[in-house]
Structure 1
Amino acid sequence: MQAPATGVPVSLPVLAAYRYCEAVTGGQARNFAYGIRLLPTARRRAMSALYAFSRRVDDIGDGTLEAQEKASRLQGCRDLLERVRTGAVAEDDTDPVAVALAHAAGAFPLPLGALDELIDGVLMDVRGATYRTWEELRQYCRCVAGAIGRLSLGVFGTVPGARDADRADHYADTLGLALQLTNILRDVREDAANGRTYLPSEELARFGCADGFARGLPAPGADFAGLVRFQARRAHALFEEGFRLLPMLDRRSGACVSAMAGIYHRLLVRIARDPEAVLHGRVSLPGGEKALVAVRGLTGLHARRVAGAAGGGA
């Protein structure tokens, strides 16, 4: 998949739709926004359209509506995708996300079926799915995050002659898994308070944490730190494999991926160093540290540090 052409013209209605999607992205996805600001304009806009659609799907899943109404609204998102696939979205459509996504799909070879997978993953949440094994959780992560990695690759493309380019989809998918598992660790208490447990039940039991964390504390005698570090090592291995994508991308696309994934990798390192911090508040990086990761992404420094520090701190 070589880097796509980006010469599709942008009319004023489409430009307005993209600006709406960029506002959504900037307001609700600070880590994501740090990365995509490194992209050329056409790619940045396309990534914003993908984010705005994904945000809509996630907000339905995370909202307070009854499960039946959530499922109905998610079907509406599938209907929107079908309109995009069939070219049925006009530039004067009243839904700016539909307009921007339709234009992006015309400019880039987006695997729109991956957005169906995202909806499938959110439906798992709506239905209260739990996961017994890592393989079961991996399938969920592949739907809600690996799919975004594959869509992003549709925007980035690969450089001509890239070695192992036939593995690019796999590496993009794997990097998405790494980000999602890091999210799960960061949000473990918040998710538990909302009645959700994502970590595999077999592994929770192995570390004495089968009762969960809704009260903000693991059960007496539980090895919560051991559980978190075990998951962090898994996530680190996923990052290490996923970063093999970077040499296949052009400099600015590689910088974008390195910045976004780098921020999450630094979060992972911080969580692994102090596992119980996730039980007391939301672990995050200050803006200056995120900016540093972005700069390192431009030079390729962060990915090299990840590759050379396997197991260290995570």
Structure 2
Amino acid sequence: MERSLSMELVRVTEAAALASARWMGRGNKEAADQAATEAMRDVFDTVPMKGTVVIGEGEMDEAPMLYIGEKLGNGYGPRVDVAVDPLEGTNIVANGDWNALAVIAIADNGDLLHAPDMYMEKIAVGPDAVGKIDINAPVAENLKAVAKAKNKDIDDIVVAILKRKRHEKMIEEIRETGARIKLIQDGDVAAAINTAFDDTGVDILLGSGGAPEGVLAAVALKCLGGEIQGKLLPQNEEEAARCEKMGIGDITRVLKMEDLVGGDDAIFAATGVTDGELLKGVRYKGTAGTTQSVVMRAKSGTVRFIDGKHMLNKKPDLVIR
């Protein structure tokens, strides 16, 4: 892949963030998602790549924009797989909560898992705890291993987990160890990324969430030197059949980093829509908007934080062709 794609992808996530942040706290998650998707599509048309969406907004008949199998880019440049979530946290934006992101991940053609849209059990950690976790191990065992790897007492560990009824038993197990918990309403991609940055205060992500989000998180953690493991959780025969159709034969196996994102290169870009532990959300003043983004590349290990100021009167459609 061309290294210049890193900055091109930031342009895409910035546009999606600037468009969707207008809907923060207005209670309309569909409008926020549509704004992000349309802006992302417009800028993608200018990016020099031959991209195919492997994780997107659904099948072609379910999502008119950024659907699985759609071609992205201007038709020139490297052939890549694209995983995209124009607005990771639609409910977050609708409610004005924390950690909504506009997210893109790309890898060389064939290197991203074509994850079906279903639940996935996940465990994710940053670089300090790589090789120390096991998704099949008891919660207490994993937390003790992470605490030891990070040279912390277990009651200093912070676990991020989605606030869902299905997690009540796991939350109780975490509390029994003495570890602390950060309950999140939505947005487990941000929570997984946060495990790789000490300043966020998050040490480990546990629990189940969307499988496509698991692949997005895997690309970010590959770039950051972290680790995620996952297990697909089909809820019925139809979902199990879809796994087989997408080439996932053994749905009970543990999906490790190399299963979720293969090869030696990948790029991840995200722009904050609302404020989070890692990125600030969009700010508007007059005809200007400001953004904060992160972009990273696995091959080089480079991580860049980018503050952007956008003169919206000069590019009202968020792109200059």
TM-score (norm 1): 0.32
TM-score (norm 2): 0.31
Which structure's residues are more often strand, by fraction? 2
Which structure's residues are more often helix, by fraction? 1
